[in-house]
Amino acid sequence: MRQARRLRTSSDDNPQKQAALRYILDAWEEALHDGIEPEMLANAALFAALADLISVFGEDAVAKMAGGLSRRIHHGEFTLKQTSQ
């Protein structure tokens, strides 16, 4: 996640989603700078995200969404790629 400003997600150009990702990546960079291990950040981020989604949509809906994550991961949807500057 280093050099977050040079990274971009697959093809999602929604401005609000891009802004949200920038906030997360900036916080991630700050935590790494403070010595937090990336694996700890990832686990905390997943927990926080799932807990928030469950509070909004409920356990059944989030479980259904999470069930589709394997396919999306294998299709590279969450792979951050460097873009040319």
Q: Which helix (H) or strand (E) is 66 found in, with range? A: helix 59-67
What is the pLDDT tens value at each position of the chain, 85 positions in all? 544 434 444 446 799 999 999 999 999 999 999 999 999 999 999 999 999 999 999 999 999 999 999 999 999 998 877 555 5
**DSSP string for residues in 1-34:** --SGGGEE-SS---HHHHHHHHHHHHHHHHHHHT
Global pTM reads: 0.69
What is the pLDDT at residue 30? 98
What is the pLDDT at residue 13? 75
What is the pLDDT at residue 5? 39
